[in-house]
Amino acid sequence: MNEAKKAIIIADSLENNYFPLLKILRKELLPLADRPIIDFIVSEAMDSEIEKIIFVLPLTFFSEKKVRGLKEFFEISKEEKQEEERFKNVSFSYIFQHLFKGDGSAIMKARNYIKNENFAVLSPNDVFDSKIPCLSQLKRIFETANKPIVALKKISNAQFFSGTLVSAEKISNNLYKIKEIENAKDIEERQQKNIKRDKCAGKNFPVNKFSSDLAITGRYVLTPEIWKYLKTGLSNNAEARKATKQEEKISIIKRREIPLSGTNADNIGLAPSIPQILNAMIKDGKMVYGYETSGEWLNCDKQIDWLKANLYFSLKHPKYGSALRAFLKEHGLF
């Protein structure tokens, strides 16, 4: 069967953009109108006929209370009579990891729950407002294609975008064959190097916009084939870390310095990301699809983005929206 009945929600992102707001609260529990962000993500999964949700959560001395709050939100909700019907067809599992190593490492932690099945991945940084859930739109294509597929959205100001972009060939309405996946920051750095090089050569190099305006929006449906590529990527990174640590030690010995607890060697530990793994599959000739989903995409990666999303859902709220618009109009803000 080509169905994906299990989903991984990676609630293990760094929260540096939100201090001091998140000293006692996980970002996923911040409200969008009268519901926490994570409730939107879980609702999307359940509305997309997901039967098992695996949360990957951070667990450190500083985050333990915040993480338990996230877990308790759903455990308590499931026991409430008014919520019993809503949660009757889904089960939750929780995985804790002590170090944040990216979304690739997070899904690897959940492998024992997924086994050899197709599965979905959802990022709580990305919230959708659509008649048909974003994940459901992907699953509909996946059940026919049986190949990895990612959610895409066109962005109007690609040159200011800091996420992940794809180069793709359009196959049919909203469906794409992905040719390459690249982080927008890497593209920008490469362009700046080209500009600097050509200026030195006396050429007038114009600043170009990114070649693609299609961004990945935090939703994936993946096949078990990804485990092989992820395992290879983790092994390669481990070798790179060993080499880097050895170089660091040699450099320290030469300079006769005492190593500090924050050296680059200690910080190089990120596993390959899901986009990087998919890119490796594409280079091997594997098919990876992208689908431009319908509906509004609201990213909550940075604090200003969350404030915009909160305002969006608050103004659209059937109970509070009209009162909020009246309040803003009264104060000359709307």
Whether the per-residue pLDDT at 224 is higher than 80: the answer is yes
Return the pLDDT at 212. Answer: 79
Helices (H), 48-133: 64-79, 81-84, 103-109, 111-114
Q: CA–CA separation, 15 vs 303, rounded Å?
A: 9
Angstrom distance (rounded) from CA 106 to CA 123: 11
- Burial label for 259, CB within 10 Å (0-12, 13-18, 19+), is middle
Written as six digits, the tokens of 259 are 């190593």
Identify the pLDDT of residue 99.
75
Domains of the chain are 6-323 (3.90.550.10)
Split at pLDDT 50, 70, 90, the class of 113 is very high
Q: In this predicted structure, what is the pLDDT of residue 159? A: 46
Q: What is the mean pLDDT of residues 219-237?
A: 86
Residue 117 is predicted with a pLDDT of 96
Q: How far is CA 276 from CA 102, 125, 236, in A?
A: 11, 18, 13
Half-sphere exposure of 304 toward its Cβ, with a 13 Å CA cutoff?
A: 0
pLDDT band, residue 320 (cuts 50/70/90)? very high
Please give the share of the chain, as a percent, with pLDDT higher than 90: 54
Considering only CA atoms, which of 23, 13, 68, 74 is closest in space to residue 300?
13
pLDDT (average), residues 274-289: 95
**Cα diameter, the chain:** 73
Lowest-confidence segment of 95-104, 226-235, 248-257 by average pLDDT: 248-257
According to DSSP, residue 98 is labeled S
Task: Summarize pLDDT for 53-80 with one digit per residue, the tens.
Answer: 999 988 765 566 767 778 888 877 777 7
**For residue 240, how many C-alpha atoms fall within 13 Å in the half-sphere facing its CB?**
13
What mean pLDDT do residues 173-179 have?
96
19-65 pLDDT, tens digit per residue, is: 777 777 888 989 999 999 999 999 999 999 999 999 998 876 556 67
**What pLDDT is stored for residue 130 in this prediction?**
97
Closest CA to 299 of 124, 59, 180, 71: 124
More confident site: 192 or 276: 276
Query: What sign for the dihedral angle of Cα 129, 130, 131, 133?
Result: negative
What average pLDDT does the chain have? 82
Measure the CA–CA gap between 51 and 5, rounded to whole angstroms.
Answer: 5
